[in-house]
Structure 1
Amino acid sequence: MEFRYLGNSGLKISEITYGNWLTHGSQIENDVAIECVHAALNAGITSFDTADVYANTKAESVLGMALAGQRRESLEIFTKVYWPTGPKGHNDCGLSRKHIVESIDGSLARLGTDYVDLYQAHRYDTETPLEETMLAFADVVRAGKALYIGVSEWTADQIRAGKALADELHVPLVSNQPRYNMISRVIEGEVVPTCKELGMSQIVWSPVAEGLLTGKYLPGHPVPIGSRAASSVGTALAQRILSDQTLLQRVQDLRHVAESLDLTMAELAVAWVLQNDNVSAALVGASSPEQITSNAKASGVIIPPDALMTIDSILGDSIERDPAMTARRAPLSRPC
């Protein structure tokens, strides 16, 4: 397992980071989830990402159980705050001082730790003054409940404004967590250059495009039973898989690139995001121990320039590059 610095900080994290969105506390049983976490540890993964909203706080509890007994100093634990949790009342979401201060205590209790290494704003809160949010994060850091601060899916302008306040408050804002993969590259135009300038880096989610880049969705065939698309009919992913046969064929055409590098399709996809030097880690989930063991093999893989050019040529205009997509996908108001 290779390790990378998180932004310009002195913190190193495993470049394959285990994420438990959509799995722990919902899709898989707790005993399987714990086996997946132990497989990640055995593969050399030391960084684990979760959020209070995942399975309405259950995912944090499962991760806490899975990591119990491990040497805390040898782990990097990340969580997030913003989306509705608990009974989803009028103050049970957002980035107000009240919600942040209360949420960090709940997350720490569920994770079974005195602090998290990284506490992230899961989205930008349009209804709370940014000054209030950053001051609350600063107080969380000064209380020793979080070591570093990050954001997720913020635009370049929002990141710049947040970093300016963080610097004034002497708070280490070091990372952004965006969607990023071979198909979705919207962060490359504005977010990545801004983060490079400010000394921040990316912890990217969906490196395999929620399973699309594994090649399991075949053109002209129904979606496999039990797949992410089969269980999420109506979502943007499912709609695209069902309607965009050109994209499905182009993904299949990537298979010979993976085979030439002795990689699986999933390993190629994970390795691809790590070729970007502003990416500190790829978030990888798993519904079985074998999945995480396989995906961890992407660590340290170097994809030759000619193979990267071939990937771009194959995917062509299926690649999303519009920087405005980050703002368009963001919530316009609090979801509670």
Structure 2
Amino acid sequence: MVGYRYLGNSGFKISEITLGNWVTHGSQVGDDAAIKTVHAALDAGITTFDTADTYANTAAETVLGKALEGQRRESLEIFTKVYFPTGPMGPNDTGLSRKHIMDSINGSLKRLGTDYVDLYQAHRFDYETPLEETFQAFADVVRQGKALYIGVSEWTAEQLREGHALAKQLGIQLISNQPQYSMLWRVIEGKVVPTSEELGISQIVWSPMAQGVLSGKYLPGQPVPEGSRATDEKSGATFIKRFLRDETLEAVRRLKPIADEAGLGMPQLAIAWVLQNPNIAAALVGASRPEQLADTVKASGVTLDADTLAAIDEALGDEVFSDPENTYEVSPKQRLV
């Protein structure tokens, strides 16, 4: 079964492998398959589910709500996010203004079929809204009982520090950040993780398999597989391009004997690797078919020894992205509509 970890400096526990539905529910797969996948996650011991209002323009939340219908709410941890455009994408259908946050939380709760979410996350930093306005709205959402905790996604160390201070002043808890993190993408290690450790903020990391590259299915000198994420712009093709250099794919091939020696599959090795970092509360995984989760959950509870970790670093060499300056390039400087 899947293990649990505390989220930030709180008494709240989440499953260390969390099911996300960014490019699957409401978009890549049909509702029946999506619902079966959620049920398979529950059967495997995953009780934490992450979505966002912008995924499939709100459809992903609706599918997740249907999938969790009839489950004991107290036994689930449901996360969603706000920031990116939704609906007809008018001028107030995006960002972290008070209006958009208040409209969005009500819409998310209705679609998810729940009275509250456990974690409500700022999907990006909003340079066009005063941070005081954003956190006052978040504080009101918490006090209204519509969210229990507040988190953010892809914020810089400085933004986390400022947001944490405002949350503290308002008497609410900012307990998480949701950045990209994998063996190949380690940009949070330089500034974001040390700052988060100081402030009592955990990471819930997305793309622990580097958009599927660390599964080993992409081969140097070969065309990308048909139907893979690299061929579908809606499924993160933009994100995966940086990892499709032949030199990177050759480095990933060198991980296979390391995984074999550890008694793990390549996806398990990738997920187990991110969970070795004590600041990581959960690895977000996606699945388009129920059977994909059977191997994924085996990464929970795995301890990689020092020799294995050193061998991974040696195999990947210079193909690792680790410049903390990359954390400043994620949030758009202007809203998208």
- Per the TM superposition, whether the score is higher than 0.5 is yes
Equivalent residue for 2:177?
Answer: 176
**SS in structure 2 at match of 1:196:** helix
Q: Would the aligned equivalents of 1:217 and 1:241 in 2 still touch at CA under 8 Å?
A: no
Q: Would the aligned equivalents of 2:175 and 2:201 in 1 still touch at CA under 8 Å?
A: yes
Written as runs of structure 1 = structure 2, the 5 A alignment for 1:96-175 is 96-175=97-176
Tell me, in whole angstroms, the C-alpha distance in 2 between the residues paired with 1:199 and 1:330: 22
Moved more, 20-29 or 291-300: 291-300
Equivalent residue for 1:57?
Answer: 58
Q: Would the aligned equivalents of 1:232 and 1:238 in 2 still touch at CA under 8 Å?
A: no
| Residue 4 of structure 2 is aligned to residue 3 of structure 1 | yes
Tell me, in whole angstroms, the C-alpha distance in 1 between the residues paired with 2:6 and 2:239: 32
| Aligned counterpart for 1:240 among listed residues 239, 242, 252 | 242
Moved more, 75-84 or 253-262: 253-262
Offset, 1:238: 4.7
Q: Would the aligned equivalents of 1:19 and 1:283 in 2 still touch at CA under 8 Å?
A: yes
Query: What's the % identity of the aligned pairs?
Result: 65
Tell me, in whole angstroms, the C-alpha distance in 2 between the residues paired with 1:37 and 1:99: 29
**SS in structure 2 at match of 1:303:** coil
What is the letter of the counterpart of residue 122 of structure 2? A
Per-residue CA deviations over 1:295-320 (Å, capped at 9, x if unaligned) read 11110000111000000011111111
Kindly report the root-mean-square deviation, in angstroms, between the aligned alpha carbons of the 2 structures.
1.1
Offset, 1:329: 2.4
Tell me, in whole angstroms, the C-alpha distance in 2 between the residues paired with 1:91 and 1:306: 52
Q: 1:236 to 1:26 in 2, by over 3 A?
A: closer
Q: 1:4 to 1:28 in 2, by over 3 A?
A: same
Moved more, 10-19 or 323-332: 323-332
Q: 1:226 to 1:95 in 2, by over 3 A?
A: same
Tell me, in whole angstroms, the C-alpha distance in 2 between the residues paired with 1:8 and 1:293: 31
Q: Would the aligned equivalents of 1:26 and 1:55 in 2 still touch at CA under 8 Å?
A: yes
Tell me, in whole angstroms, the C-alpha distance in 1 between the residues paired with 2:294 and 2:282: 16
Offset, 1:326: 1.2
Moved more, 326-335 or 38-47: 326-335
Tell me, in whole angstroms, the C-alpha distance in 1 between the residues paired with 2:191 and 2:324: 6
| Residue 287 of structure 2 is aligned to residue 314 of structure 1 | no
Q: 1:12 to 1:241 in 2, by over 3 A?
A: closer
Per-residue CA deviations over 1:226-256 (Å, capped at 9, x if unaligned) read 11002239944453355x1010011011001
Equivalent residue for 2:70?
Answer: 69
What is the letter of the counterpart of residue 311 of structure 1? I
Tell me, in whole angstroms, the C-alpha distance in 2 between the residues paired with 1:237 and 1:176: 19
Q: Would the aligned equivalents of 2:211 and 2:240 in 1 still touch at CA under 8 Å?
A: no
| Residue 29 of structure 2 is aligned to residue 28 of structure 1 | yes
Equivalent residue for 2:289?
Answer: 288
Q: Would the aligned equivalents of 2:126 and 2:331 in 1 still touch at CA under 8 Å?
A: no
Tell me, in whole angstroms, the C-alpha distance in 2 between the residues paired with 1:239 and 1:203: 23
Q: 1:265 to 1:277 in 2, by over 3 A?
A: same
Moved more, 62-71 or 320-329: 320-329
Tell me, in whole angstroms, the C-alpha distance in 2 between the residues paired with 1:16 and 1:152: 17
Q: TM-score, normalised by structure 1?
A: 0.98
Aligned residue pairs: how many? 335
Q: 1:241 to 1:199 in 2, by over 3 A?
A: closer
What is the letter of the counterpart of residue 36 of structure 1? T
